[in-house]
Each structure stands twice: as structure tokens, then as C-alpha cells.
Amino acid sequence: MAHRKLAIDGLDAENQEITEQMQFMSTKSNEEVASIVDQKAAAVRAAITRGNSIEALEKALADPPYGRGLESAQSSNAQLVSEILMATRAQDIASVVANLVDEDRDVLLKYIYHGLARPAEFNCGVLLSWHERVVENGGLGSIVRVMSDRRIV
Amino acid sequence: MGVLDEYNFPFCVTAHAFNHDKTQVAVCPNSNEVHIYQRSGTQWALGHVLAEHDLRVTSIDWAPRTNRLVTCSQDKNAYVWTQDATGTWRPTLVHLRIQRAATQAKWSPLENKFAVASGDKCVAVCYFGEDNDWWVSKHIKRPIASTVLCVAWHPNNVLLACGGADMKARVLSAYIKGVDEKPVASAWGERLPFNTLCGEFAAPSGGWIHGVAFSPDGESVAFVSHDSSLTVATPASGEVVSVRASGLPFVTLAWPAADTIVAAGYDCSPMVYTRDGASWRLVKRLGEDDRSRRSATASPSSGNSAFNLFRQMDSRNQPARTGSAADGGSLRSVHQNTITELHRDPTTDADVSTSGLDGKLVQWSIRA
């Protein structure tokens, strides 16, 4: 319940500036980011066909597109990550997750939540089994990090 | 390693500060009052109640040498308390000039200044103006963009680290002309007039900065943030090392010895980190190996205690009764709720003290 009838934060010009400062903005243009994702895609798919999920994930999770205005690049990168997750056999998930570095594991969790938020586009059953393994390795800390991070994928 | 002393207060302890020889402790019972307890045997006896603030007291700091207290509160005020000849604590109001709540107050190492963090996007650096017989405050404003949640002093009495809701930890100069000697040049900078920005660091995944601390030699600064991480920045080498914790976020930390950092927070156990080459490694969750004290097996981070409780309720078709389950609904840690503050011991670099929302005040030894 609001205690004030007047939104005082709107009266402060400095506030707008701060809000913008806190939003994560990408320094690259949409086209640049899209081309980076396309380049990655070929290498990632090659790794998938070789059955090397770890290499594929490391490539797909490196330098993910963050920030507003990059929605198309973001969704194609999410599709790329999801392709790897679908292609990995269920019994290999634990070892793949255990071999990821902490940083990549946190990024992977962001993509898992990205997928779970769009059940029409992604296979949530597979995502949940990945989620279980990621949280087993990274603990509650990795969930907290995804929630606190403003660099949304 | 382990618990040296444990005392249970009948209220949440939201802030605490020991005096120089740990015979007295000032605690805030989550209200507008500060209670000073006197040690008597293994117990603490209530000595004084300092009731000058109008709203909840957010921070207490006890200067060990000059035996003065500084308290600050959500009522936007800070008081410096001195004990007169009869033993009564007398408050002196500090004119902070802030328009939002004060969040944390810390005496400088020489105890001639203190810093008050606030929700007014500034840190008030206060010193005693002899001319006016009055505590004067000077504001560090730029480039702080939001509420400051924590402050820490560099051993040289000039530099100040602060962190807050703008998700940046900063090292700034709090040099006061006429009060401070010119600081010697270090990796933080050579000329350090008031409000000089000497370093700005971010956590790996953002999040509010809940606690900052300088290393004992002042060469590095460490901070904990709401993304469950501990970050150590060393300007001389340009290294910024982050450790991602597996549990819930830390809210407070201390750096008692060169190779040891202790952090604590929502996971209820103080965690000891030691230097491991360039990085830092978790070596100990304090108090969780002491099985003779606690029979519980579930740890808070595994998330199993609640699960087991529900499963038990389900399989036995029983309603939940606190303390009835095998693990008693109690955590394996000594604290049974969030740790609110962790301070290094004023007498030795091997001990720390913690206070928690469960009302416990615990003194720990961190030496192996």
C-alpha cells in the first residue's frame, strides 16, 4: 500500500539518470550481436554432432547477448543453448554440469529459467532435469545470482 | 575453532558492539533503544538503556580507546555517547544533515572521526569541531547513486570504503583538513583530497553490496553482495577476484588476519575463507561440525530440513509441531536465523563475534 499520494521519485530529475545507469545496456549494436551469435551457432552445432556437449555449451554460453533491444539475438542464443540441452543424453547431464566453470553454470541457469518462462517454445521436462543438476552443483547461491543479476538473457 | 561463548537474548539482536576488553556489550533489540549489558560470570546483566533515538537503531560502534559509542538510526540522527564520572551515558546529537535513514556508523581507526552511511545517497563523515564544541559532518556524495548500506575505514584513517544499493563498492577519500595528517601515497592514490574516488568495483552478478572490509594492511578491499559472492579487489596488482558461494547471500564480513576473511549472512553460519594462491577458498563453516552440541543432520543450504519436515508430516499424517521432528526443526548451525552483524574481536585477530535474528550473541575462535 502506498503511503504517499504523490510519486516523489518522479520529481527528482536525478532519479531518471540513476535508473538508466542501473539498466544493463549493451555497447554493441543489434546487428553486431546477431552476427556473433550466428558465428557461434556453426561451431556449436558442429560440437553437438560430434557429441561433445561440454565444448558446445562452453561456446554457446560465452559472451551471451545482454541488455535491452537485443531480443532477436537473445532468443536465437537461447534456442542454441536449448538445442544442446535437448541433444545431451539424460545420463550425461550430471557430468556435463560438473565440468562447467562456475561462471558458465550461472549463465546456463539463466537460460534454463528463460526456457521455463516460455513453455510453448521449450521442453520444460528436459530443462527441469538440467535445473536439478545445476542447483546440485552450484547450490542456492546460483539461483540467488540469477535473480540478482540485471544482465538478463 | 568453534564457539567460545554463546548467549541467548530474548529478542532479535540487530546490531551489537563490544567494548575494548569485552566486559560490556551494546546491543540493539530491534527497537529504538540500545541496551548495554555487563558481563557477570557466564551471563550478561542489563546495565544501561540508551533511549534517545525515535526510530529503530541501525548501527552501534564502540571506540575501544576513547570508550565512546556512536549510534545511528532510521530517525536520520546519530548520537555520540560518553560515560560521565557517575557512569551514566550522556548523548551528544550529531548534526548529520541527511534527509533519509542512517544505515551504518563506524569509528575511524584513530577514533577522531566517524562515518555514517545513509539512504540519502551519501556518507556523512563526522569530526569534532573544537571551535563550536560540536560534531560537524561533511558529505561524500559523488558518485554514489543510491542508498549506502555499509562503510569501512582504511587503517590510515583517511580512506573509506562504502557499498550500497547502487551495486558498486567504492573506495573514497575522507580526508579532513586540520584533522588528518597527509596520508602517504599508496596503490589507492597519491593526492587524496576529500571525496576523491580511488576505486570502484562491482560484484560478478550485481546485487546490493551488504558489507565491506579492508585487509589489515589496507592494500585490498573485500565486499559481500546479494548475489551470494565475496569479492576481493587489490589495486596494486589490479586483481579483482570473486568467489561464488553455494549458499544464500552474505550480509556482513570481517577481515581479521591477512589470509583470513570471515563472512556471514542468511545461511546462519559464519564462513571462513583463506587465501589460495590468487583466489580465496572456503575452508570452514563455523560451528557446523560440532555434532555433540546438535543432533540435527539437515543443513540450511541443502534445503532438506523443510522437505523432511513436510515428508514426515505427509507420511505420518501429523500436523507440524515445532521441535517435534528428529531434527527438531533446528538448523545444524549455531545461529538459528540470519546473522545480522559480524565483527572482529577488539582484543585479538583470531576471534570474531556474531549476532543474529534468533537473539544469539556468539563469540567464535577462527584459528585452526
The pLDDT tens digits of the residues spanning A122-140 come to: 999 999 999 999 999 999 9
Residue A46: CA count within 13 A, CB half-sphere: 7
| A60 SS3 class | helix
Q: Which helix (H) or strand (E) holds A31?
A: helix A30-49
Determine how β-strand B113-118 pairs with β-strand B102-107. Answer: antiparallel
Which one of B166, B206, B245 has the shortest CB-CB distance to A141?
B245
Has domain A28-148 been given CATH number 1.25.40.190?
yes
A140 close contact with B: CB closer than 8 A: yes
Residue A81 has pLDDT above 70, yes or no: yes
All structural domains of chain B with their residue ranges:
2-294+332-365
Cα(A138)–Cα(B299) distance, integer angstroms: 15
Of the candidates A141, A87, A145, A153, which has an alpha carbon nearest to the alpha carbon of residue A115? A153
Sorting pLDDT into bands at 50, 70 and 90, what band is B25? very high
Residue A86: CA count within 13 A, CB half-sphere: 12
Cell readout for B303 is 534445503
Q: What is the mean pLDDT of residues B287-302?
A: 54
Do B246 and A142 lie within an 8 Å CB cutoff? yes
Q: What is the mean pLDDT of residues B99-111?
A: 97
Do A106 and B206 lie within an 8 Å CB cutoff? no
Which one of A18, A146, A151 has the shortest CB-CB distance to B145?
A18
Sorting pLDDT into bands at 50, 70 and 90, what band is B349? confident
Cα(B229)–Cα(B232) distance, integer angstroms: 10
Cα(B76)–Cα(B217) distance, integer angstroms: 33
Residue B305, pLDDT score: 65
DSSP B145: -
> Are B364 and B351 contacting, i.e. CB atoms less than 8 angstroms apart?
yes
To which CATH superfamily is domain B2-294+332-365 assigned?
YVTN repeat-like/Quinoprotein amine dehydrogenase (2.130.10.10)
Cα(B359)–Cα(B39) distance, integer angstroms: 17
A9 close contact with B: CB closer than 8 A: no
Percentage of chain B modeled with pLDDT above 70: 91
Do B229 and A145 lie within an 8 Å CB cutoff? yes
Sorting pLDDT into bands at 50, 70 and 90, what band is B223? very high
Cα(B363)–Cα(B82) distance, integer angstroms: 26
Residue B289, pLDDT score: 74
Of the candidates B265, B263, B249, B247, which has an alpha carbon nearest to the alpha carbon of residue B338? B265
> Are A47 and A55 contacting, i.e. CB atoms less than 8 angstroms apart?
yes
All structural domains of chain A with their residue ranges:
28-148
| Secondary structure percentages of chain A, helix, strand, coil, to 5 | 70, 0, 30
Cell readout for B360 is 544469539
Cα(B225)–Cα(B209) distance, integer angstroms: 4
Do B226 and A106 lie within an 8 Å CB cutoff? no
> Are B268 and B336 contacting, i.e. CB atoms less than 8 angstroms apart?
yes
Sorting pLDDT into bands at 50, 70 and 90, what band is A96? very high
- Name the CA radius of gyration of chain B, rounded: 21
Q: Which helix (H) or strand (E) holds B198?
A: strand B197-202
Of the candidates B54, B12, B3, which has an alpha carbon nearest to the alpha carbon of residue B360? B12
**Helix axes of A71-87 and A102-116: crossing angle, nearest 10 degrees:** 100
| B221 SS3 class | strand
Residue A126, pLDDT score: 96
Residue B294 has pLDDT above 70, yes or no: no
Residue B266, pLDDT score: 97
**A151 vs B contacts (CB less than 8 Å):** 205-206
Residues 6+ apart with CB under 8 A from A74: A64, A65, A153
Q: What is the mean pLDDT of residues B288-311?
A: 58
Cell readout for A3 is 503511503
Residue B233 has pLDDT above 80, yes or no: yes
Of the candidates B292, B307, B301, which has an alpha carbon nearest to the alpha carbon of residue B265? B301
**B246 vs A contacts (CB less than 8 Å):** 138-142
Sorting pLDDT into bands at 50, 70 and 90, what band is A94? very high
Residues 6+ apart with CB under 8 A from A58: A100, A104
Residues 6+ apart with CB under 8 A from B328: B295, B296
Sorting pLDDT into bands at 50, 70 and 90, what band is B160? very high
- One DSSP character per residue, B337-351 reads S-EEEEEE-SS-TTE
Q: Count residue pairs from A and B with Cβ separation < 8 A.
A: 64
Residue B328, pLDDT score: 56
Cα(A10)–Cα(B229) distance, integer angstroms: 33
Cell readout for B266 is 542468511
Residue B304, pLDDT score: 63
| Cα of A140 to nearest chain B Cα, Å | 5
Residue B292 has pLDDT above 60, yes or no: no
* Weakest-pLDDT range from A26-30, A60-64, B298-302: B298-302
Round the average pLDDT of chain B to a whole number and report it.
91
Do A141 and B246 lie within an 8 Å CB cutoff? yes
**Helix axes of A71-87 and A53-61: crossing angle, nearest 10 degrees:** 170
A101 close contact with B: CB closer than 8 A: no
Which one of B145, B205, B301 has the shortest CB-CB distance to A139?
B301
Q: What is the mean pLDDT of residues B241-245?
A: 96
The CA distances from residue B349 to B27, B214, B255, B257, B259, in Å, are: 22, 14, 9, 6, 11
Q: What is the pLDDT of residues B118-132, one digit of tens each?
A: 999 999 999 999 988
Sorting pLDDT into bands at 50, 70 and 90, what band is A21? low
Residues 6+ apart with CB under 8 A from B291: none
**Mutate which of B122, B246, B305, B331 to disrupt the A interface (most A C-beta within 10 Å)?**
B246
| Cα of A46 to nearest chain B Cα, Å | 30
Q: What is the mean pLDDT of residues B243-258?
A: 96
Which one of B205, B245, B301 has the shortest CB-CB distance to A148?
B205
Do A146 and B204 lie within an 8 Å CB cutoff? no
Do A142 and B247 lie within an 8 Å CB cutoff? no
Residue B299 has pLDDT above 50, yes or no: no
- One DSSP character per residue, B225-285 reads ETTTEEEEEETTTTEEEEEE-SSSPEEEEEEEETTEEEEEETTSS-EEEEEETTEEEEEEE
pTM above 0.95, yes or no: no
Sorting pLDDT into bands at 50, 70 and 90, what band is A20? low
Do B245 and A139 lie within an 8 Å CB cutoff? yes
